[in-house]
Amino acid sequence: MRFTRCLTAAFVVSAAALTACSVSVGTRTVDKNEVASQISSKLEEQVGRKPDSVECPQNLDARKDATLVCTLTDQGSSYDVTVTVTSVEGDKANFDINVANTPKN
């Protein structure tokens, strides 16, 4: 249990550094699976491993200030992850990732 809390704390602490993720957008949305993949990759860069899973309920609108709440699951605990588009530059959407401080369950 202690490892889960430490790891989750690392996810939460690192979330502030997870800014300006950038993905190509062929349409005016970013595919939900691509958003989930970016979240996992950025967290892996920060804490050394990916969470067990990240799922997003729908595609992310590629427009400034659009938000999407995904679910991160790690070692039996689930957390909301809020994704907010900070800018769209041509076919690239940049977004911030913020992991909730407390689990949903």
- Whole-angstrom distance, CA of residue 11 vs CA of residue 33: 20
- Whole-angstrom distance, CA of residue 61 vs CA of residue 29: 4
- Hey, how many other C-beta atoms are within 10 angstroms of the C-beta on 72? 27
**Tens of each residue's pLDDT in the chain, 105 residues:** 233 333 444 444 344 334 445 555 556 888 999 999 999 998 888 888 899 999 999 999 999 999 999 999 998 999 999 999 988 888 888 888 988 888 986
Q: What pLDDT shows up at residue 24?
A: 53
- Whole-angstrom distance, CA of residue 102 vs CA of residue 96: 19
Q: Residues 6 or more apart from 75 whose CB is under 8 A from it?
A: 3, 4, 7, 52
- Whole-angstrom distance, CA of residue 96 vs CA of residue 84: 5
- Whole-angstrom distance, CA of residue 30 vs CA of residue 85: 10
DSSP 8-class letter at 64: T
Q: Is the pTM of this model over 0.85?
A: no
Q: What pLDDT shows up at residue 28?
A: 86
